[in-house]
Amino acid sequence: MPRPPSAMRRQILDSALRLFAEHGFKGTSLHDIAVEARCSKASLLYHFAGKDAILTELLTPPAEALSAMGEELAALTGGQAVEAAVTGYVGLAMRFHLEVKIIFAELPDMLGHPVLAVIPRAVDQLAAALAGRRDEPRARVAAQMVIGGVAVTVAADVDAEPATMRDELVRGALRTLGHPTGLS
Amino acid sequence: MPRPPSAMRRQILDSALRLFAEHGFKGTSLHDIAVEARCSKASLLYHFAGKDAILTELLTPPAEALSAMGEELAALTGGQAVEAAVTGYVGLAMRFHLEVKIIFAELPDMLGHPVLAVIPRAVDQLAAALAGRRDEPRARVAAQMVIGGVAVTVAADVDAEPATMRDELVRGALRTLGHPTGLS
DNA sequence: GTCAGCTCTGACCGATCGGTCAGCTACGGT
DNA sequence: ACCGTAGCTGACCGATCGGTCAGAGCTGAC
């Protein structure tokens, strides 16, 4: 039965991603994942060092992408930074919407996780860019509202075309930030 | 030693609220609460029927308040509904910010909880009011962004005066919704 | 044919979980 | 002085958790 070298590995990751997003990391047991992936619990631990290793492998890509975006944003200023931050963040959030759900669901513990150690710095850079490098409460609160609003909206099951969703998220975020735009 | 009739009960609730908000419901054990409240685990279960009963008692007030707000909003229309929804929701979120954190942290499971059974209806009413009774994707996405943005911002530890925070949350939400206002 | 090695599994382990129970202590009513 | 009862606790319970281990089953190299 164990034919393709590592099809099971991918299947475990897919199942874990779905279950973590739906029930949270702590709310999902290795048994749950094994049932979903149609293998034994011991098989999970043959492919992965432990439950935590599965999470790490799932969250590494979005963490690296967010970190890279943070560094790029740090080089921009003013209006350029705001627009790049909004479009970049919305794109990332949509691409990794299940991972976003996992991270936001257990934020405090996740931030203590090694693989997500880069997040505070990246989020600071993102927030600073969204705030247009301004430090007034208005800009800081608005930036935080965008970060949360986009994440929650993407994680929720709003029925809308991805393209429409993306467009409206960007417009909505720019409105929140009070950023002037050619459109309404 | 057990002098005041029920000081321990309050202390258990306070400790549980703090710990649930910080580590999540599933991430907090009865032992953790007992240590924080400086009593035995068995004492917790003398005062409360179980871990779930503690959560129920903590979440009942915000659930009832949200439900009541939803019904009030259902009676309003257009611009009135939008403004009432924004100020009402921001007020509720700030008053119950720790409870909001608990609910948002484990949303899927929380929505299955009996005491929060009223939430979907209330949130639908809130979203409809925020969207100004309009059904276009733009209004629906913006409403969802406000719901998430306010909740996450209030749950995060943004250092700002409560009055300022409240003011900026309301203004930010109205900007997100594209709702015209006399101020910037 | 046979042997080495990768994949996978059932049985099992200690730790921790939420919850139960018998009983101790101290106070208020009589 | 006695007792009922409310408040509280240590000891204990079964279930479930993440994780270990010896070995079965299959495959490709020789």
* Residue B26 within a domain: yes
Q: How far is CA A120 from CA A93, A125, A148, in A?
A: 16, 9, 14
B127 shares its domain with B76:
yes
Say whether both B157 and B80 belong to one domain.
yes
Looking up tokens 């034994």, which residue turns up?
A40
Same domain, A123 and A161: yes
Domain assignment present for A116:
yes
Residue B67's pLDDT is 97
Q: Which pLDDT does position A2 carry in this prediction?
A: 37
pLDDT band at A3 (very low <50, low <70, confident <90, very high): very low
Give the chain A residue whose CA is nearest to the CA of B178: A175
CA distance A107 to A123: 13
* A69-118 confidence digits (pLDDT tens): 999 999 999 889 999 999 999 999 999 999 999 998 888 889 989 999 99
Residue B20: count of CB within 10 angstroms of its CB: 27
Q: Is the domain of A84 the same as that of A129?
A: yes
Q: Would you tell me the crossing angle of helices A162-176 and A137-155 to the nearest 10 degrees?
A: 160
The answer, yes or no, to whether residue A182 has pLDDT greater than 80, is no
Backbone angles phi, psi at B38, to 5 degrees: 55, 55
- CATH label of the domain that carries residue A35: 1.10.10.60
Instruction: Determine, yes or no, domain membership for B153.
Output: yes
- In a domain? residue B183: no
Give the number of domains in chain B: 2
A:B CB pairs within 8 Å: 135
DSSP string, chain B: ---STTHHHHHHHHHHHHHHHHH-STT--HHHHHHHHTS-HHHHHHHSSSHHHHHHHHHHHHHHHHHHHHHHHHT--HHHHHHHHHHHHHHHHHHTHHHHHHHHHTHHHHHTSGGGTTHHHHHHHHHHHHTTT--SHHHHHHHHHHHHHHHHHHHS---S-HHHHHHHHHHHHHHHTT---S--
Question: Do the Cβ atoms of A144 and A76 come closer than 8 Å?
Answer: no
Q: What pLDDT is recorded for position B105?
A: 83
Shortest CA gap A70–chain B (Å): 20
Q: Kindly report, residue by residue over B64-82, the tens digit of the pLDDT.
A: 999 999 999 999 998 899 9
Q: Kindly state the average pLDDT of the residues B156-160.
A: 85
Residue range A38-59: mean pLDDT, rounded: 97
C-alpha distances (whole Å) from B96 to each of A2, B9, B90, B99 are 52, 20, 10, 5
Question: Which pLDDT score is estimated for B155?
Answer: 92
Query: Is the residue at B74 inside a domain?
Result: yes
Are A98 and A40 within one domain?
no
**Which residues from chain B sit within 8 angstroms of residue A144, using beta carbons?**
149, 152-153, 156, 158
Cα→Cα distances A85→A120, B106, B113, Å: 16, 28, 37
Is there a domain that residue A112 lies in? yes
Q: A28 and A76: one domain?
A: no
Q: What is the pLDDT of residue A115?
A: 93
Distance, CA of B33 to CA of B11 (rounded, Å): 10
Q: Which of the four pLDDT bands, split at 50, 70 and 90, describes residue B182?
A: low
Q: Protein A8 CA to nucleic acid D28 C1', in Å?
A: 20
Return the residue in A23, A144, A157, A183 with the most chain B beta carbons within 10 A, the one to mutate for interface testing.
A144
The predicted-structure confidence for A13-32, as pLDDT tens digits, reads as follows 999 999 999 999 999 999 99
The pLDDT mean for chain A works out to 93
Query: Whole domain around residue A141: which residue ranges?
Result: 59-176
Q: B182 in a domain, yes or no?
A: no
Question: Does some domain include residue B131?
Answer: yes
Q: Is B94 exposed, middle or buried (0-12, 13-18, 19+ CB in 10 A)?
A: middle
- Does one domain contain both B34 and B81? no
Whether residue B78 sits in one domain with residue B35:
no
Do residues B41 and B109 share a domain? no
Instruction: Render pLDDT for B5-40 as a digit per residue (tens, 0 to 9).
Output: 578 999 999 999 999 999 999 999 999 999 999 999
Q: Is B65 near strand C, with its CB below 7 A from some atom of it? A: no
- Residue A6's pLDDT band (boundaries 50, 70, 90)? confident
- pLDDT band, residue B1 (cuts 50/70/90): very low
Give, in Å, how far the C1' of D23 lies from the CA of A46. 14
**Res. B51 pLDDT band, cuts 50 70 90:** very high
Both A108 and A149 in one domain: the answer is yes
**What pLDDT digit, counting tens, does each position of B117-148 carry?**
999 999 999 999 999 999 999 999 999 999 99
- Tell me the chain A residues in contact with residue B141 when contact means C-beta distances shorter than 8 Å: 153, 158, 160, 165, 168-169, 172
A61 touches chain B (CB under 8 A): no
- Chain B residue numbers with beta carbons less than 8 Å from the beta carbon of A102 are none
Same domain (yes/no): B22, B102 = no
Judge if A29 and A65 occupy the same domain: no
Question: At residue B2, does pLDDT exceed 60?
Answer: no
